[in-house]
Chain A
Amino acid sequence: MHTTDAIITCAALEKHYTRGGETVRVLESIDLSLDRGAFVALMGPSGSGKTTLLNLFAGIDRHTAGSLTVDGHDIAHLSRAALAAWRAACVGYIFQLYHLVPVLTAYENVELPLYLQPLSRRERHRRVSEALDSVGIADRYAHYPRQLSGGQEQRVAIARAIVTQPALLLADEPTGDLDRVAAAGVMDLLAHLHRDRGQTIVMVTHDPATAHHAQRTVFLEKGRLLETPEVRR
């Protein structure tokens, strides 16, 4: 059901870090186009630059050279403040370690990004409830993160990422810290979001079995895209 226009386009994308006077080229000449509505898995060995690439897509890090367009925005030309506003509206991010705010309940964590939108209290409440229901956490609104299992924490984190209805959902090894059962639950949830809502998802993973849920897999090695064996389903 997805259309074929690109949500992410990058050309000759480079990311360098300087460490102790030495330049480390973490990403080199990345040319890539990802379709709106796609579910893409990003694979590669540890240290190959997967997280870095995802962070560039999310607008939480800036590239060194090349061009990057996400959802129609040329990322390089947005100011810090404009980039933050763009993230609030367009990007949902799921972390391997959930990163819920420990002093907020599940409900309050999910409500947090909605404060950046011009919504009434009532509308906020409606959306938070809907998001928590859709990840199957409806009975744990008032629980603090420390009172939840890892799988439940990640579900709340997913609710927080989708509650703003972002154009782009990014996930960095979302099942990397979960046991098999919890991991399967989270993957089913992401697959369901993609299938039923047409949610665009880019997911970093180590695990080929996890990557199976995606329609397309992109491989990174030492900061470069591997032309083959890219898999399209």
Chain B
Amino acid sequence: MISRAALMGLVTLAWHGLVRRPTRSGLVVAGVTVAVFLFCTVDAMRTGVERATSRASQETALIVYRQNRFCPFTSALPQYYENAIRKIPGVVSVTPVKIVVSNCRASLDVVTFRGVPSEAFAKDHATHASSDAMANWLKRGDSALIGRELADRRRLKAGDRFTAAGVDAYVAGIMESDAPQDQSSAFVHLPFLQEQSKRGSTGGIVTQFDVRISDPTKLDEVALAIDAQFATDQTPTTTRAETAHVARAATDVIALIGFARLLGFAALAAVFALVANAIVLSMRSRQREVSVLQTLGFGGAHLATLVMVEAMLLGSVGGILGAGASYATVALARTAFTMEGVAIAVPPSIAIATLGLVIAITLSLAAGVVPALIAARQSIVAGFRS
């Protein structure tokens, strides 16, 4: 219906119209950029939370915590529970962990020390750190292996010393692990952390047990068995799947992100309103130009295409800038929410950036439909008399 040459001419005309009216199109593009940035960034947070808190079908990790305690400062369990837990059918491994955090509340800059049994940890995580780093770590009592995210955030490298939460440690090396909890933690020797931590009793007390089981379908069953084991003890336990444990700690953050998501959608609605408004105003002030184009022989389909191309250009330039800025920000900031000792990383995602761009373009095109139809049907003579 429209020849290639005509389409090329219309794209050129639309492009020049936007670039050579920089103030007007700049404002619209800036608005779209901000909205898409907001949407993509909130969606990246939501994705991080979802990934950390929705149970995977193959999940085999349990966290044993002190019953009715919700913070590493107050959860205290006897280390000797370890042996009892190990004997429960289905349990593959048990790691007693002492956790010390610099801040128990929701925050973006928390240091989480995890005190772990040295030999077992070195064996389990042999692939996550260089052999030098691991050897270094085993050699020194006050040494720490630092998760990649934490290392980047605090700019730490092997050989540094650093202090947080009243614990002073030596950096033996950096740990590369995909698990979000690993990435934002500093792993130290369990006895060292028990000694350093001044709160409550020291030796023989841990914050939690990390339990691995063999059969993912038995997750709930094993959890109940563990809690039953200590139900009548002085320090009863609550055992949850790791994702459920994170989800419980992150309740507030999840609610906040749910709300922020509404803002993200509102921002997208704003994109629609912004582009629609810009195009309606632009076409209204260009009725005469439309009549001139019609006189030159451009038909309804050409004019509708011109308007749609303008809408698409506004949406895609703003979309690319907003989605790109969001991706870069998330990637560079390497943010992780940490609350009550659990961490939720916010991962940069090409898929989310693409989604943001596609939504921006789609909404812009939708915003262009009515003005496009109006332009296509405009009476030439009426346009000249306007």
Contacts and interface: CB of A to CB of B under 8 A. Distances in A.
A172 to B, nearest CB: 10
A58 interface: yes
A160 B21 CA distance: 23
B352 to A, nearest CB: 35
Given A61-B380, A101-B289, A103-B16, A116 B296 contact: yes
Main SS at interface, chain B: helix
B150 to A, nearest CB: 53
B298 interface: yes
Interface residues of B, number: 28
A160 B295 CA distance: 11
B294 interface: yes
A119 B5 CA distance: 8
Contacts of B301: 81
B5 A84 contact: no
Interface in B225-260: none
A117 interface: yes
A88 B16 contact: no
Interface in B4-40: 5-6, 8-10, 12-13, 16-17, 20-21
A89 B302 CA distance: 16
A113 to B, nearest CB: 4
Interface string B349-386: 00000000000000000000000000000001100000
Contact of B297 (A84, A99, A102): A84
A85 B299 contact: yes
B292 A88 contact: no
A61 B12 CA distance: 28
A80 interface: yes
Q: Which one of B5, B296, B301 has the greatest number of beta carbons of chain A within 10 Å?
A: B296
A24 interface: no
Given A60-B380, A81-B300, A103-B17, A115 B8 contact: yes
A140 interface: no
B16 A84 contact: no
A224 interface: no
A103 B297 contact: no
Interface string B318-352: 00000000000000000000000000000000000
Contact of B13 (A86, A89, A99, A101): A101
Contact of B295 (A87, A104, A108): A87
A117 B5 CA distance: 8
B288 interface: yes
Shortest 7 CB-CB contacts between residues of A and residues of B = A88-B297, A115-B9, A84-B299, A60-B380, A103-B20, A87-B297, A113-B296
Interface of A: 55, 58, 60-61, 80-81, 84-89, 91, 93, 95, 99, 101-104, 108, 111-113, 115-119, 160
17 contacts: A60-B295, A61-B381, A80-B300, A81-B299, A81-B301, A87-B295, A87-B297, A88-B297, A93-B295, A93-B296, A99-B292, A115-B5, A115-B9, A115-B10, A116-B5, A116-B297, A117-B5
Given A60-B295, A81-B301, 20 more contacts: A55-B380, A58-B295, A80-B299, A81-B299, A81-B300, A85-B299, A87-B295, A89-B297, A91-B295, A99-B289, A101-B13, A103-B21, A108-B16, A112-B9, A112-B13, A112-B296, A115-B8, A116-B5, A118-B5, A160-B296
